[in-house]
Chain A
């Protein structure tokens, strides 16, 4: 059975942390179509978090088409693997690698690269709000 974890100091809302973990586990193949996710009560007791947080995470996963509830049985993984087609993923990775090489040639440290990505993502989120 899949087990969630919670990072109290990350600043990411708990429900989003749960959603991210399922997405990541799907990408890495730790979760596959047909797998049952733990019940809301089990996650709430295991992580000692509000059950409504778990409900919210599962709703979000359903909304993204990654999981679906079966009445009386629980919540199951419905996506085959990554919601992004593998060709798209490969293309994105290739352009990211090219960008990372350019950053390295420009003399950027790993830390600066990470900070720049975080800042760019932060600004994109802000525009969307």
Chain B
């Protein structure tokens, strides 16, 4: 169904029962997922869900406690040149050396990255109208974000990891930043892994979805397939979960009726012909929010990773 590089039978990213423990607490556990080459994947979840832990293991900053990460089929080891070269990283809040000029930053990038494309970097900065001699401290938030993205693109890494790239940007800067990301995705068939709290905006950018909560993968796969496998069902209030044709992900009861986010296949929905029942397609945001609000005790059926015991309270809401 999804359109990805036909030659990309080797996934851009694969994690296999990946876990990381901080003292006695697991930041991430039993994380098994794949992102195909050419995808733009959204990584969503509340604060403390394990997003940064996962990203840091993907980019090779953090050593896994258990399990494996591989990027384009090659195992990532923390702090090795090979791992670092395969992944470009745009960190949250776009940290750059504040007293460096933009040109200095590009020189630094060139010195530190063997595959660096100086021409591409300089042309991008020029096209963006950012003065190369201006110091980073004098750039706007949007310009800093664009310099960070330029550094990541010029590295020529096939997988780009963006950690909350939109958080510090105003709406116009967000759009301009994502415009360049979308163009880069089309142009160079790059694979993107983007963590974000801005769930409502992700639908148009991303074709792959990963939902993390409580250090576990709640949902992962092609966005279209996941949307197609869920329905918003309106049923009379008294209807018990067991009578519903699928797995109840989230349920909101009002006086007379209940709205249920249901994971169900087409066959299950086709046979349901109850009067007073209505099944509607689910939006990207409804799907994500449904999984984030899901009680933590519920079984994670249908996920690639086997369900593991999950300690701790369930996340009540996602921070925006």
Residues of A within 8 A of B186 (CB): 40-41, 44-45, 51, 54
Residue of A nearest to B1 (CB): A56
Q: Is B206 an interface residue (CB 8 A)?
A: yes
Q: Is A27 an interface residue (CB 8 A)?
A: no
Least Cβ–Cβ distance between B221 and chain A, in angstroms: 14
Q: Is A118 an interface residue (CB 8 A)?
A: no
Tell whether, in the assembled complex, residue B182 and residue A52 are in contact, meaning their CB atoms are under 8 Å apart: no
A48 interface neighbour in B4, B178, B266, Cβ under 8 Å:
B178
Q: How large is the interface on B (under 10, 10 to 19, 20 to 34, 35 or more residues)?
A: 20 to 34
B279 interface neighbour in A48, A51, A53, A126, Cβ under 8 Å:
A126
* Interface residues as binary, B145-187 with A (CB distance below 8 Å gives 1, 0 otherwise): 0000000000000000000000000000001001110110111
Chain A, range 38-93, C-beta contacts under 8 Å to B: 40-41, 44-45, 47-56, 59
Tell whether, in the assembled complex, residue B185 and residue A56 are in contact, meaning their CB atoms are under 8 Å apart: no
Question: How far is A8 from B179 in the complex, measured between Cα atoms in Å?
Answer: 16
Residues of A within 8 A of B2 (CB): 52, 56
Tell whether, in the assembled complex, residue B270 and residue A44 are in contact, meaning their CB atoms are under 8 Å apart: no
Q: Is B19 an interface residue (CB 8 A)?
A: no
Question: How far is A41 from B180 in the complex, measured between Cα atoms in Å?
Answer: 10
Residues of B within 8 A of A45 (CB): 179-180, 182-183, 186
Residues of B within 8 A of A6 (CB): 204
* Interface residues as binary, A102-127 with B (CB distance below 8 Å gives 1, 0 otherwise): 00000000000000000000000010
Q: Is B97 an interface residue (CB 8 A)?
A: no
Q: Which of A41, A52, A53 has the most CB of B within 10 A?
A: A52
Residue of B nearest to A46 (CB): B179
A49 interface neighbour in B4, B38, B39, B205, Cβ under 8 Å:
B205
* Interface residues as binary, B100-141 with A (CB distance below 8 Å gives 1, 0 otherwise): 000000000000000000000000000000000000000000
Q: How many residues of A contact B (CB 8 A)?
A: 22
Tell whether, in the assembled complex, residue B39 and residue A52 are in contact, meaning their CB atoms are under 8 Å apart: yes
Question: How far is A20 from B3 in the complex, measured between Cα atoms in Å?
Answer: 19
Question: How far is A124 from B123 in the complex, measured between Cα atoms in Å?
Answer: 52
CB within 8 Å for A52 and B3 given contacts A45-B182, A45-B186? yes
Residues of B within 8 A of A126 (CB): 269, 279
Residues of A within 8 A of B206 (CB): 50
Least Cβ–Cβ distance between A121 and chain B, in angstroms: 13
Tell whether, in the assembled complex, residue B269 and residue A129 are in contact, meaning their CB atoms are under 8 Å apart: yes
* Interface residues as binary, B2-13 with A (CB distance below 8 Å gives 1, 0 otherwise): 111000000000
Residues of B within 8 A of A47 (CB): 204
Least Cβ–Cβ distance between A43 and chain B, in angstroms: 8
Tell whether, in the assembled complex, residue A48 and residue B185 are in contact, meaning their CB atoms are under 8 Å apart: no
Q: List 16 A-B contacts (CB under 8 A).
A: A6-B204, A8-B204, A13-B224, A13-B227, A14-B203, A41-B186, A45-B186, A48-B182, A48-B205, A50-B182, A50-B206, A51-B185, A51-B186, A52-B38, A56-B3, A129-B269
- Residues of chain B having any CB pair with chain A under 8 Å: 2-4, 38-40, 175, 178-180, 182-183, 185-187, 203-207, 224, 227, 266, 269-270, 279, 281, 283
Q: Which 8 residue pairs across A and B have the least CB separation, nearest first?
A: A51-B186, A41-B186, A45-B183, A55-B3, A44-B182, A44-B186, A49-B204, A52-B3
Q: A40-B186, A45-B186, A52-B2 are in contact. List 15 more A-B contacts (CB 8 A).
A: A8-B204, A11-B281, A14-B204, A44-B183, A44-B186, A48-B179, A49-B182, A49-B204, A49-B205, A50-B40, A50-B207, A51-B182, A51-B186, A53-B204, A56-B2
- Residues of chain A having any CB pair with chain B under 8 Å: 6, 8, 11, 13-14, 40-41, 44-45, 47-56, 59, 126, 129
